[in-house]
Structure 1
Amino acid sequence: MKKHGMLNSHIAKVLADLGHTDTIVVADVGLPIPEGVTKIDLALRLGNPSFEEVVSSIAEDMEIEKVIVAAEMKTDNPEAQAYIDHTFADCPIEDVPHEQFKALTRTAKAVIRTGEAKPFANCILQSGVHFG
């Protein structure tokens, strides 16, 4: 049994398979998942697990070089925006209109669905390179 890091076998495999600039999405319960993109559904009930809990767990185990969020997060979910700004203070954060955000999810290696039920609690995490 794995002792440290990501214990969810589906997420661990996706993380292990990422190459430089590949992306994954952490999504709220409402984000549409594009046809053909792997969906890892963690949602148990509304709010559980939370967006922040899932993003924090992934960030501990993934080399992230850029984060993309919907521009609407800033006004419609300032708590999530503050969390992203704090968690990724040393990383470029790009905001794009929500429709563009949804289009970007089409090329993600996976969408990880949380139980989060607040608007625009979604982010795209772009893989960097860890040279140790």
Structure 2
Amino acid sequence: MLKTIHPLIGSELLAILAEMGHGDDLVIADRNFPAESVASSTVSGQCVQLAGVDTTEAARAILTLLPLDSFVDAPVRRMAVVGEPDAVLDVHSAMQAVVDSAEGHAVTIEAVERFAFYEAARDAYAVVQTSEARPYGCFILKKGVIFD
């Protein structure tokens, strides 16, 4: 246990977050996402399992350490609902509240078509799979810069 590091952030995830650079992507996915197969194509090839945690709890913990990219229009992407690309589900609204709170301002979350989301996820640095039960609880966070 380390001071000021959220207890959900284990050593494997802490190392991944530390290794990531500006512009690298981190996938936070629900329990239905093909996390292991997608993770095998990522930069790190790693899938971190956070059992018993939903995507918003995972993001809340991760965003205590990971800054979002302020140089892009949408530093967070979400999987769009099939057949209803403009639908905003409860899981999306909950994530919006988490990222806005973490950054201290409104953050744009962009909807991405399901198969385009899978492709983008394969290009990410790593995947974090949660026990999120709500459908379409899949997000990609783009790491930003820490200004001293």
User: TM-score scaled to structure 1, two decimals?
Assistant: 0.87
| % identity of equivalent residues | 28
- What corresponds to 1:70 in structure 2? 79
Instruction: Write out the 4+ residue segments of structure 1 that deviate beyond 4 Å after TM superposition.
Output: none
The answer to whether residue 22 in structure 2 is matched with residue 20 in structure 1 is yes
User: Which amino acid is 1:20 matched to?
Assistant: H
Answer yes or no: is the 8 Å Cα contact 2:56–2:98 preserved in 1.
Answer: no
User: Which amino acid is 1:78 matched to?
Assistant: L
Q: How does 1:49-68 map to 2 (within 5 A)?
A: 49-65=53-69, 66-68=75-77
- What corresponds to 1:97 in structure 2? 113
The answer to whether residue 90 in structure 2 is matched with residue 79 in structure 1 is yes
Give me the whole-angstrom Cα distance separating, in 2, the residues matched to 1:98 and 1:16: 28
User: Which amino acid is 2:4 matched to?
Assistant: H
- What corresponds to 1:41 in structure 2? 49
The answer to whether residue 130 in structure 2 is matched with residue 114 in structure 1 is yes
Answer yes or no: is the 8 Å Cα contact 2:78–2:110 preserved in 1.
Answer: yes
Aligned-pair Cα RMSD in Å: 1.7
Give me the whole-angstrom Cα distance separating, in 2, the residues matched to 1:59 and 1:117: 21
User: Which amino acid is 2:138 matched to?
Assistant: N
User: Which amino acid is 2:118 matched to?
Assistant: K
Residue ranges of structure 1 left out of the alignment (5+ in a row): none
Q: Which has the higher strand share?
A: 1
Residue ranges of structure 2 left out of the alignment (5+ in a row): 70-74, 101-105
Give me the whole-angstrom Cα distance separating, in 1, the residues matched to 2:86 and 2:94: 11
Closer, same or farther: CA 20–118 of 1 in aligned 2, 3 Å:
same
